[in-house]
Amino acid sequence: MLEKENLTLDKLNEKLEVSLGRGEFNPETTRVLQLAKNPELEDYSIRKTQLEALRNENKALLNIIKKNKLKDTETIEDVIKDDKDNSKEEHLENIPIETYKRLEIENRKIEDLEKQLDRLKTVFRKKSKEYREVVYSLLGYRFDFLQDGRVKLTSMYSQHGNQSFVFSSNSDDSGSMQLTGGGKSYIQSLEKKIDYFVGQYGSIPGLLASVTLDLFNQLKEQNKIESIDTKMDEQ
């Protein structure tokens, strides 16, 4: 007898646990507390307001259609063109105020989005310029984005400002490097460096650092770069 009652209670307990997991409750004996202002209620309120506005607008538009006796293939604009007794402005006055309000709200949203986009563009241009200046001052290369995703790097120690590397990447993660400026002799002088840093070790940064050091030493030998001590002595 006790075993049967125990089995019955176990089944009842399992049933209650399942009901509780589903969120079921007795509204007469249980109260559910929730915040007066919460995201779900706010979203519901906004949707309810929008739905009510659309219903009013739809009702007003249906009244206009009935008033003007539009055919299935006609539009309000067609009636305005065919009606010579009344002006277009008089017909426009019959357009529901809900339509104007909705359009005004949408226009304000578009204006706000355009302002946000303009601000983002301004911030992006400013940050992009700052980033390029930081890279140039710390790493010694000015980089420019070219067409087709190519990137052009020019050393700050380039004598004529035309000794550059142009890098491009492909969809299969392979890339290519092209040398521009400096003449044929300059390009030939880099062949060993390219073979060593890129060919043997696959190190583009190593190649760029080595080229930077060589260009720096060339300018120093030509007395085109002064040491900090020399500048301080002159002052």
Domain boundaries, the chain: 140-224
Q: pLDDT by residue (tens digit) across 138-164?
A: 989 998 888 778 899 998 888 777 778
Q: How many CB atoms lie within 10 A of CB 136?
A: 15
Q: What is the pLDDT of residue 20?
A: 62
In the predicted model, residues of the chain with pLDDT beneath 70 are 1-4, 6, 16-38, 64-100, 227-235
- Report domain 140-224's class: alpha beta
pTM of the entire structure? Answer: 0.49
Q: pLDDT by residue (tens digit) across 168-209?
A: 887 777 788 888 877 777 778 888 999 999 899 989 999 999
Contact 163, 186 (CB under 8 A): yes
Distance in angstroms (rounded) separating the CA atoms of residues 77 and 10? 72
Distance in angstroms (rounded) separating the CA atoms of residues 181 and 161? 8
Q: What is the pLDDT of residue 210?
A: 92
- Please list, residue by residue across 79-104, b when 16 or more beta carbons sit within 10 angstroms of its beta carbon and e when fewer do: bbeeeeeeeeeebeeeebebeeeeee
